[in-house]
Structure 1
């Protein structure tokens, strides 16, 4: 590969447009008058930035009382009598679980402030998603329902209990149905409580459904093998992976787990053994997984089924009836080559598909059976419990409700009024149900139509458990007393079913004593205390059984072809592809500002969804980015701005679901995006995410809050790639001279670093670009949310950003004449590289030499420090930083009387880390390498009279990374992990030619591409 390939963040940079040049002439975004700020143009507009969390309801006075008690507790303890385990200034950690992952919750003076992955977690080994990192913020959301409601009026729990029990008794006597509608539940104790409730009320039924459904896979396994389960996939055991629109590194099933598995065959350790997996991705919208693939093939939704049939034919040597070639010969060739590679890797091959169509997934099962994948890369015996919903069950409930057969419905962690594809059908049915109860924590779209709202605890206030993977059990324990007058769902169900067990803690304890602790040879109080410390139990895995695929594939193929034909767009129509947002997922996180401001991994858009389209389609419609179009599909019309997406197949549109909510919090109610769920359709027994749409320009336009081109490197060589073939021939390819610093002449003397030299290594082959590190840094370092308008002004405050670069593939150079967008041949054939960028802590830091007040200085441990009290805001340092990683504080809202109208709550600080200074207006800030963690680690070692151990000090970004792409440590220790990583032949330093001597080394990106390109 050519090390001088052109990399670009967006077409404006590729073509060096006048607007792009103009923006980058100014180092800083334009200032705005304080009067404009105070005018408060909407929550997400000109709201004072540092008061942003207060304005959107993330500051809770009630937490003061809840935090001042021993945790976990069973009775109140006055804080004048200090709890034994609470030492002011010292953190406590509690084991818990989040979506089946074993986690550790950090508390300070009784309040949770940070969530970390448990290093021994079976799924991600200490890695954690952006959603898990942001979950602590939801605890401080004043939009939560703060007490139970009956017909919109606040009631005492005793009144609610009397009312509900009386109504349920009437329904029981009448013989009418009671339905519990929930998202997938994998908690064994919760399922047991629901079973007890159904025993008390025999006409009750539990319906599980998921907004983003996996019914297709589950039903296909029932049809293929007689086992209705979601498999546990083992990407680490696959040498060749072929994916059809399954975003398995992002939103598909278990992204953090799959990331860990996937990267184990592509990281430093694997490459040094001259081994690397092969990944081919066929998809419509550019997904996080697609950006990491060795080869990505753009594919329309209508072509996916045909492509899978052709893949099956090529693997098995048969020809299914109706088989036909695709219009694109390059795609046909890619399928043939992919089939050859899969067959060559038989037993170590894996094919996955993101489709929710049963017939499509049956064909995928047939392909994997032919490849010998069951028992190796696919495990049906130790299956996943993460998604168990059945689309048909919810349809049946709606039909029964419309017929008047359902007298009560209880919603648990489910919001179908928002995310069901046919909202009118659902709401019409609910109107005929007399008793509607919501356990949801917020007054969301579904809770708003309910008779009773019995708000549940936040998970950090709760007892519970989880069983995400068969044989793997995690425990949940409270880390703070309930902030509001809420109650666990299970306690409510136990109360209403007259359970002999009086509280859910006792129920969980009894269930574990009887059924779960014995799996690990534990019992009694000692076993219970042990599990509260370790956080999980892993039983012996079930042995792999033999599975024989038996299904009439001729009929399956005909069903697939029939379904595919319905997706072929006619004249002036487009094929619509709906997907989950990487940040908001299915929409349940839409009220979380940290996630709203997390840039999308591919588009780098924040605070909005959009319609991603190909360049040729935009030009044919005479559209520019930000132009608003209407999209009409499935009888629903929404208006969205368009975004030019390289890699998008011509004739298709991709839109994220999870936006456009109307109730559930101040962020949501301020109006963010449009709801695309109604564009789903029910076909072949399941909810499908593809459709045909018509579009029409409106003539309106908005500016997307997009971060991708906020900084420019002026074409300098900062990304380095190589093919796996080249790497095997020369491990130093494109890394420079042996991956070491060149001997540049310098005007400055080197710093003496006698004990510690804190440095970092970032493996571009491991980084997937997910953004979990960004949110982890937010939580750890008190980084503020700024809102949509401030992002538009290029004022986002993230200390670490994930830069996304496009480059043309070898056979798609794309540009016939430089700087002329009209002459772009094709930008569908691009590849992507993600690069985390943060302060490089340069030994010869350009920022330090220009600061007139010595606010930024170098330490004897190799770090670039900021003395905030010295900084007067000249911004010379940011101007002189070639990496553009410094952030300027435009506003200060903590003690300024001009902003009193925005001080809705007095305890916003409860979400903040007390170990980190809250910065003020007019100063620069940037990555500190989590200096507070470094100091804490050194102090701990000193108290224990020992040296600091390698790995015991972790920066927030490295700790949360499931891929372990970031390694931090002491370079003075030659045996440290970071020293070993930096000795990799692939190591290079960004802008090394400037002789800034950065403290962060990157490893060259390697793609296993050569075979398919040939």
Structure 2
């Protein structure tokens, strides 16, 4: 371990800014002035707290009925005769599907309260993303449409059906066009419904539109190999991965699946055998994937295509016309070294690119063909069906609308009035269609332009299926009756097409009975029931074949160079790239407060998007973080605050899409600014890059709600990192476990005997090499433990309530030059911050054996259990906050308000619907009480009780923490240290294990494994 290496969470900590120093003089978050408390102001800059919280409702009447009854009734009834499948106090689990991924839905008394991954799911083997974890909250959104609407007024379904059928018949008789516009659909049943609809209306056509598009990859595979598909990538089979702007651990195609694959070559099991893959990332803005790379090179968007050309030249030994060097010597050297290593790993190499440009993806195909990747790391014969959008088809659809050739349009799970880059052109064209139908469950931007809104069910209320990858079929089944008077979109299409099968459940059953059940060796009613229990069937995969690229690349290279030149900014100007954040994504879930308050994995910003600018450019332009800048590109202008982002390529800007919604709902409306209009349509696909023509300070300041420096360690070392080459020689030295390591037990300040652990000693191990920093564990913990959302202003006051946080640390070192304790920022080269590396560290209550919090609590509200847990007795706590003051890890949270029970938080946290998402096994905490991670003690007790009833010992792995269960990377392991064969015991015995701040001898119960990087040495 290099003790000279300096880690810091943010530039304010590194620079020791006066504001940072002043805030960290205090152990507690700044208090609210008494006049603010009395007035009720303080949560929102725009609205008083009382009104703000009432406005953002997630609303028991309708949900109670849906949860308790099989048929609609008008009043709640007690369990005088309980439903057979419901036992009060005992959870039921149902298999279902979330966006093609098999899941398990936990229900209590008929209401869904938690979503978990299905351990047999082929994508993440039980892991789930933050968005999937948060999806259960959307069910209880009181802003969902309660009834269908006709011409802006609520109407009955019979009235809707009569109007739509009449209009469709008139359009059909006139020979006018009908278009059904949807997002990517991989459901066999839904596709069959659409096919039947088109048979009834022959002028209808299905147009697939994805706001974030992968048409470039699909079309490139069509051009290269005659297969218009997205391949199924196998990162677990790659010894070396080279990525050009593909955030494959975050938002690119299948992030949870790729995370599981990627980590399998970098975790404990791999490192124990002294094997580790190598990952080299070229990108402009710092992405989640970039933070995990062994080597990350910051390049401009205009250089990405050139870098791929250079890589092809180095691998093939040829020179494509127009080739030229990159501006960064380090990046050029990295290309040369990467080419050699890719060739050496032929058959176990993988090159990917995030570009949506067809020519760029064709050249990537050529590289992978040279490397023998097809049939090993890339599978074209069992392709992904997660994205099937066609950009050119959608642009032509808008043109058809504009020409008045389309008389009827139906929108399913798309919102082009918000996310199409020429939204005004689309809106003007749509007005020419006589029938405009939206299946949206909210009055979103496109629904407001429709004369019919036929609100769709939430997926937890629906029947259906999915086929997200070839040979893998999953079922969607409802876990609750419809809360409102909604109807499944497929049901509506069946009715309007006058299909003999009017009920969509029957239609799904027929699809499976006639075709899909047999694929899984099932049949009849028994086979259907088996499917509903398992949630999926898998067929034997097709043999993955090899593919040889055989095309002239001269024209391809020229197209790439022309494209690169079109987005290259002149001197003093910026190149802009837009991207997705893992939390908000494309903006469909912008009204979900769990996602809005989830810190961005890189910037740690909540409740906003921003302009990421390099540190060197910030210094050059004399800007400060939070300064609002007016930006114009692609003919579109926005004003956004800037953020100094280490790792951002100089001369570039990055802005997240998914923000700036105007009709998302009270939570998501007017949060941030819309970046979709920065898109352009070039060479047949949507492009995410542009040249900035205006970059002007407005003089306005808009501070961002960041969390990364809310908890300071005062310069203490909490991260341990090693280079793979050195680690292989002596693993123990990097964790401090080498011979002669100091035994802190002998110098204890606690004159107490060791705690007895007669049966269980609950501990945890966290692998820093596996944790990608995605934040799914944060949302899973929110859902499991009833953790409240506090809003942007409270986050800015350092009052976020998350029990687990992901600390993000930067570091920089190059040939002996590093950022040291003296914070000599001005003495560094301008490109120093372009070359930072990042480590993510989950931090939660460490459940110390010698817990400093316990010794200072005057009322014994925090005590130690005989099973190694630091426990809280909430009704004892009087809120002295001595425990938070004495905690070196800063993991305790103070309730400034009765977030769940105070009337001023009505309709946001304390409304009748949101109350039903609460886990009844976990008490909601009240004002003036400290809280923190409990190691999901309710799950521990449930596991022990089950084992006791079955008269057997508790098995290892039977109890999983919420954070552990959702982690696709298996970075968190929990269990009983008294069991020497438990997974956690084995993990803690790893030579990489160390304990944070172990010199304090508080004897934490959570061990961390050293971060290891398999980096290559590059010349500056």
The verdict on a shared fold, with TM-score over 0.5 as the criterion, is yes
Separation of aligned partners in 1, 2:38 and 2:561: 58
Q: 1:893 to 1:788 in 2, by over 3 A?
A: closer
Aligned to 1:1001: 1007
3-state secondary structure, aligned to 1:428: helix
Aligned to 2:786: 782
2:576 is aligned with 1:576:
yes
Q: Is the CA contact 2:391–2:684 (under 8 Å) kept in the aligned structure 1? A: yes
Q: 1:430 to 1:898 in 2, by over 3 A?
A: closer
Separation of aligned partners in 2, 1:738 and 1:67: 58
2:96 is aligned with 1:96:
yes
3-state secondary structure, aligned to 1:733: helix
Q: 1:546 to 1:910 in 2, by over 3 A?
A: same
Aligned to 1:464: 464
Which sits farther off after the overlay, 25-34 or 602-611? 25-34
2:654 is aligned with 1:654:
yes
| 1:309-320 superposed matches below 5 A | 309-320=309-320
Aligned to 2:65: 65
1:687 to partner: Cα distance = 0.4
| 1:858-897 superposed matches below 5 A | 858-892=864-898, 896=902
TM-score after normalising by structure 2: 0.97
Aligned to 2:994: 988
3-state secondary structure, aligned to 1:58: coil
Aligned to 2:689: 690
| 1:205-354 superposed matches below 5 A | 205-354=205-354
Aligned to 1:678: 677
Separation of aligned partners in 2, 1:921 and 1:51: 20
1:38 to partner: Cα distance = 6.3
Aligned to 1:854: 860
| 1:285-434 superposed matches below 5 A | 285-434=285-434
Deviation string, structure 1 residues 883-928 (Cα, Å, up to 9, x no partner): 0000000012555567779898434311110000100000100000
Separation of aligned partners in 2, 1:728 and 1:954: 32
Deviation string, structure 1 residues 638-660 (Cα, Å, up to 9, x no partner): 00000000011110001000000
2:959 is aligned with 1:945:
no
Aligned to 2:923: 917
Aligned to 1:932: 938
Separation of aligned partners in 2, 1:93 and 1:878: 37
Q: 1:41 to 1:762 in 2, by over 3 A?
A: same
Separation of aligned partners in 2, 1:865 and 1:805: 29
Q: Is the CA contact 2:53–2:908 (under 8 Å) kept in the aligned structure 1? A: no
Q: 1:196 to 1:907 in 2, by over 3 A?
A: closer
3-state secondary structure, aligned to 1:25: coil
Q: 1:810 to 1:61 in 2, by over 3 A?
A: farther
The counterpart of 2:759, out of the listed 732, 750, 755, is 755
3-state secondary structure, aligned to 2:629: strand
Aligned to 1:745: 747
Say how many residue pairs are matched.
1012
3-state secondary structure, aligned to 2:814: coil
Deviation string, structure 1 residues 53-81 (Cα, Å, up to 9, x no partner): 764111253111111125999xx998432
Q: 1:990 to 1:411 in 2, by over 3 A?
A: same
Which sits farther off after the overlay, 26-35 or 593-602? 26-35
Q: 1:542 to 1:38 in 2, by over 3 A?
A: farther
Q: 1:680 to 1:903 in 2, by over 3 A?
A: closer
Separation of aligned partners in 2, 1:895 and 1:962: 34
Q: Give ranges in structure 1 of 5+ residues lacking alignment.
A: none
Q: 1:895 to 1:393 in 2, by over 3 A?
A: closer
Aligned to 1:957: 963
Separation of aligned partners in 2, 1:42 and 1:445: 30
3-state secondary structure, aligned to 2:395: helix
1:1013 to partner: Cα distance = 6.9
Separation of aligned partners in 1, 2:127 and 2:862: 32
1:552 to partner: Cα distance = 1.7
Q: Is the CA contact 1:240–1:277 (under 8 Å) kept in the aligned structure 2? A: yes
Aligned to 1:827: 833
Q: Is the CA contact 2:6–2:820 (under 8 Å) kept in the aligned structure 1? A: no
The counterpart of 1:967, out of the listed 962, 973, 978, is 973
Q: Give ranges in structure 2 of 5+ residues lacking alignment.
A: none
Separation of aligned partners in 2, 1:184 and 1:503: 23
Separation of aligned partners in 2, 1:904 and 1:801: 24
Deviation string, structure 1 residues 529-563 (Cα, Å, up to 9, x no partner): 00000000011101123322122200000000000
1:331 to partner: Cα distance = 1.1
Q: Is the CA contact 2:788–2:900 (under 8 Å) kept in the aligned structure 1? A: no
Deviation string, structure 1 residues 58-114 (Cα, Å, up to 9, x no partner): 1253111111125999xx998432101101110000000001110000000000000
3-state secondary structure, aligned to 2:834: coil
Separation of aligned partners in 1, 2:907 and 2:189: 46
Q: Is the CA contact 2:806–2:841 (under 8 Å) kept in the aligned structure 1? A: yes
Which sits farther off after the overlay, 580-589 or 806-815? 806-815
Separation of aligned partners in 1, 2:909 and 2:705: 26
3-state secondary structure, aligned to 2:387: coil
1:127 to partner: Cα distance = 0.2
1:1012 to partner: Cα distance = 5.0
Aligned to 2:530: 530
Aligned to 2:20: 20
Q: Is the CA contact 1:103–1:118 (under 8 Å) kept in the aligned structure 2? A: yes
CA RMSD, 1 decimal = 2.0
The counterpart of 2:801, out of the listed 778, 793, 797, is 797
Separation of aligned partners in 2, 1:900 and 1:397: 44
Q: 1:374 to 1:493 in 2, by over 3 A?
A: same
Q: 1:241 to 1:1013 in 2, by over 3 A?
A: farther
2:768 is aligned with 1:764:
yes
Deviation string, structure 1 residues 456-500 (Cα, Å, up to 9, x no partner): 000000000111111000101000000000000000000000111
1:567 to partner: Cα distance = 1.1
Separation of aligned partners in 1, 2:847 and 2:686: 50
Separation of aligned partners in 1, 2:681 and 2:355: 13
Separation of aligned partners in 2, 1:594 and 1:553: 47
1:513 to partner: Cα distance = 1.0
2:106 is aligned with 1:106:
yes
| 1:40-51 superposed matches below 5 A | 44-45=44-45
Aligned to 2:439: 439
Q: 1:471 to 1:818 in 2, by over 3 A?
A: same
Separation of aligned partners in 2, 1:132 and 1:253: 15
Deviation string, structure 1 residues 904-957 (Cα, Å, up to 9, x no partner): 843431111000010000010000000000000000111111110000100100
1:822 to partner: Cα distance = 3.1
Aligned to 1:540: 540
Q: 1:1008 to 1:208 in 2, by over 3 A?
A: same
Q: 1:19 to 1:820 in 2, by over 3 A?
A: farther
3-state secondary structure, aligned to 2:379: strand
Q: Is the CA contact 2:58–2:908 (under 8 Å) kept in the aligned structure 1? A: no
3-state secondary structure, aligned to 2:771: coil
Q: 1:405 to 1:895 in 2, by over 3 A?
A: closer
Q: 1:901 to 1:381 in 2, by over 3 A?
A: closer
Q: Is the CA contact 2:141–2:914 (under 8 Å) kept in the aligned structure 1? A: no
3-state secondary structure, aligned to 1:166: helix
2:479 is aligned with 1:479:
yes
Q: Is the CA contact 2:148–2:154 (under 8 Å) kept in the aligned structure 1? A: yes
The counterpart of 1:976, out of the listed 982, 1006, 1016, is 982
1:51 to partner: Cα distance = 10
Q: Is the CA contact 2:141–2:913 (under 8 Å) kept in the aligned structure 1? A: no
Q: 1:1007 to 1:389 in 2, by over 3 A?
A: same
Separation of aligned partners in 2, 1:72 and 1:351: 54
